[in-house]
């Protein structure tokens, strides 16, 4: 059934992204610990991801500040790119009157569907300043070929 309100669409319209971001913020803030390990509380979280697609490739940029690239596992499973790993962080603050140590351990998991024609054998990943950029080339035979139209008179 069609709606008479133009901004109410199946995808949620222009406010859907903002609603998802706020929901994610509350989920992270009020998250229940997944498990306790040696005095550390372990939480689950999902990194923010940007996906860009061009004619020749798909770029996925995952924000993982404070995560060592060695702690990130990237794989392709059943037509989806999977990012998973663990963030381990420890902050120590020493002042004249106090000494405070905070620890955070959080597992993350993100699954991004790959478009048809993605070449899973040639995927590369690089890390710069807490952002992992994953380049997924498209198979050359599936890249759209442009055909010029000649004016014949």
pTM for this prediction: 0.60
Q: What is the distance in angstroms between the CA of the first residue and the CA of the last residue of the chain?
A: 49
Tokens at residue 4, please? 């008479």
Q: What is the mean pLDDT of the chain?
A: 78
Q: Is the dihedral of CA 72, 28, 58, 82 positive or negative?
A: positive
Whether 134 contacts 63, CB under 8 Å:
no
Residues 62-89: pLDDT tens digits? 998 888 888 899 999 888 899 998 887 7
Whether 105 contacts 35, CB under 8 Å:
no
pLDDT in the model for residue 1: 44
Q: Which domains does the chain have, with CATH numbers?
A: 13-142 (2.60.40.790)
- Does 39 have pLDDT greater than 50? no
pLDDT in the model for residue 44: 63
Name the E strands within the chain: 35-37, 40-45, 49-53, 57-63, 72-77, 80-94, 99-113, 124-128, 131-137
* Mean per-residue pLDDT, 50-58: 88
Residues 102-144: pLDDT tens digits? 777 778 888 888 888 888 889 999 999 889 999 999 887 766 6
């Amino acid at each position: 059934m069609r709606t008479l309100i133009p901004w109410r669409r199946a995808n949620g319209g222009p406010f859907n992204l903002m609603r998802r971001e706020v929901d994610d913020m509350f989920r992270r803030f009020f998250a229940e610990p997944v498990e306790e390990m040696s005095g550390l509380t372990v939480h689950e979280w999902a990194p923010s991801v940007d996906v860009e697609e061009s004619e020749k490739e798909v770029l996925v940029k995952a924000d993982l500040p404070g995560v060592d690239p060695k702690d990130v596992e990237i794989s392709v499973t059943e037509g989806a790119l999977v990012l998973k790993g663990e963030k381990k962080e420890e902050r120590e603050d020493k002042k004249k009157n106090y000494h405070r140590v905070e620890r955070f351990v959080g597992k993350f998991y993100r699954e991004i569907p790959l478009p048809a024609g993605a070449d899973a054998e040639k995927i590369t990943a690089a890390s710069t300043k807490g952002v992992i950029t994953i380049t997924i080339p498209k198979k050359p035979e599936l890249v759209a070929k442009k055909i010029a139209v000649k004016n014949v008179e």
